Chains A and B, each alone.
Chain A
Amino acid sequence: MTKEKYMNTLRERLYQLNIEGRDEILNDFETHFTLGRQNGHSDEELMASLGSIEEILEAYEGIAKSNDETIRIDGHDQKKEYTNKITTLDISARHADTKIVTSKDGGFHVDLYKEGKLLERLSHTLIAYQEVDVFFVKVLPLFPHKSSGQYDLYIQVPNDLPILLLNTSSGNGTLEHIIVNEIRINSASGDFKLMDIKAERIDIEVASSDFQIRDVFTDMHIRSASGDFNIENSSGKAFHYQSASGDLKLVGDYEVIHIANVSGDINTELKTIQQMHVSNTSGDLKMKIENTSNFQITASSVNGDCEVFSAGEALMLKHLGTVQVGEPKTQIKLGTISGDIRLDLG
């Protein structure tokens, strides 16, 4: 075979297989011949050193496949263009800690750090790819046992992302300054910080995770086993909270609040409220509501104390009772078995 035939065949096959960057590749091969000839090699020797075209293409297909699995959607990466807009970001972080912020350029950026050092595409540890309209980010173990070390994921998202799913086992999560329609967090034991978040709805389903939530404007639905929740300056329409033994501190403003707890303590400070149901088994309930006029409060405690004050004046001091003032615009139901209840209005 002559060099011309070799290069023509290669060129044809690269075009046939629609391989990206083919001009660059062909250029490298041309240069190889030129420099090789300068070094005194014959064309036959050079073609032998390059390898058979089939062998080369086979290797390329292997590389192209692994490229697809490890693509990074990046404001700078113009080579891959995705026709579907991303509606969902699905993150499986396992033991890696994840930090999610808003990107400055409106694109998606995923960076993986190991022990503080940036590793961009250690392809058998981080997989990031788009399938239709979902962008998946998965952190896999490098080896299926201990040696892995601490991985950290740093993800930047556009400020109009519809859905964000974050799933970790022990990895912690920090979400800061983002605007997302729906956020769903699932975790076994990771701890989370949510700061400055605008959303329609946040769903949290965790086992022993602790949460620090500040400056969030969204509806919240929380199911937790034993984690503690500290929520400040938050507001939305609905707040639903279910927990076994975690403590809850909630400072904010909601229209509807439903809280079901077993043994944790509940401490809420609210501006206004339209409807609130709280039931606790053995934990204490302490509530403060700034503005309530025209309300109906039903409180019951089997073994504990039950105190309702309005502007410092005691309205009710007994185990079971209903207090109504004016037209009941606000409905508050409080119930506990053996904990104490204290509600302060105004």
Chain B
Amino acid sequence: MNPQFKKGVLELCVLSLLKQGDKYGYELTEAISQQMSIAAGTLYLVLKRLNDEGYFTSYLVESESGPARKYYRLTEIGSNHHEALKKDWYAFIEQVDHLIKENPND
């Protein structure tokens, strides 16, 4: 997949996954990797930035079998941002679709 597409949608993917429920970093990288190949390293940076901007809160859950896991939870602002990005995304797809379908060869 075109890396440019991926950069733009990583934020939207993370927000969508967190909308479904709190998740910890590694869990998110695994979930997204199932759909597309990403560099997990860049994902951790995106998570940090979105967290700093107030879109998530985070909390630690102790684990007997390993290190404490940092869970991310979507805030109301994050949820609003998610809605706005989703709207943008669908509008964007519609616009591109329109242009693609204009091609008589399709």
Residues of A participating in the B interface, judged by any CB pair closer than 8 Å: 21, 24-25, 28-32, 34-36, 38, 49-53, 55-56, 59-60, 62-63, 67, 70, 79, 114, 117-122, 142-143, 147
- In the complex, are the beta carbons of B40 and A67 less than 8 A apart? no
A121 and B53 contact, CB distance less than 8 A: yes
Interface residues of B (CB under 8 A from A): 7, 25-26, 29, 33, 39-42, 44-49, 52-54, 65-67, 69-70, 76-77, 80-81, 83-84, 88, 91
What residue in chain B is nearest A52 (Cβ atoms)?
B39
Q: Are A49 and B29 in contact (CB under 8 A)?
A: yes
Chain B facing A: main interface SS: helix
Determine the distance from Cα of A31 to Cα of B7 in the docked complex, in whole angstroms.
Answer: 23
Task: Report Cα–Cα, A32/B69, bound state, in Å.
Answer: 10
Partner of B25, one of A32, A38, A55: A32
Q: Which residues of A contact B33 (CB under 8 A)?
A: 49
Determine the distance from Cα of A122 to Cα of B55 in the docked complex, in whole angstroms.
11
**A142 and B66 contacting across the interface, CB-CB below 8 Å:** no
The answer on a CB contact under 8 Å between A36 and B26 is yes
Q: List 21 A-B contacts (CB under 8 A).
A: A21-B52, A25-B44, A25-B45, A25-B48, A28-B70, A30-B67, A31-B69, A35-B66, A35-B67, A38-B66, A49-B29, A50-B41, A59-B41, A60-B45, A67-B49, A67-B52, A114-B80, A120-B81, A121-B54, A122-B81, A142-B88
Task: Out of A59, A118, A143, name the residue touching B42 (CB < 8 Å).
Answer: A59
Q: How far is the CA of A59 from the CA of B7 in the complex (A)?
A: 9
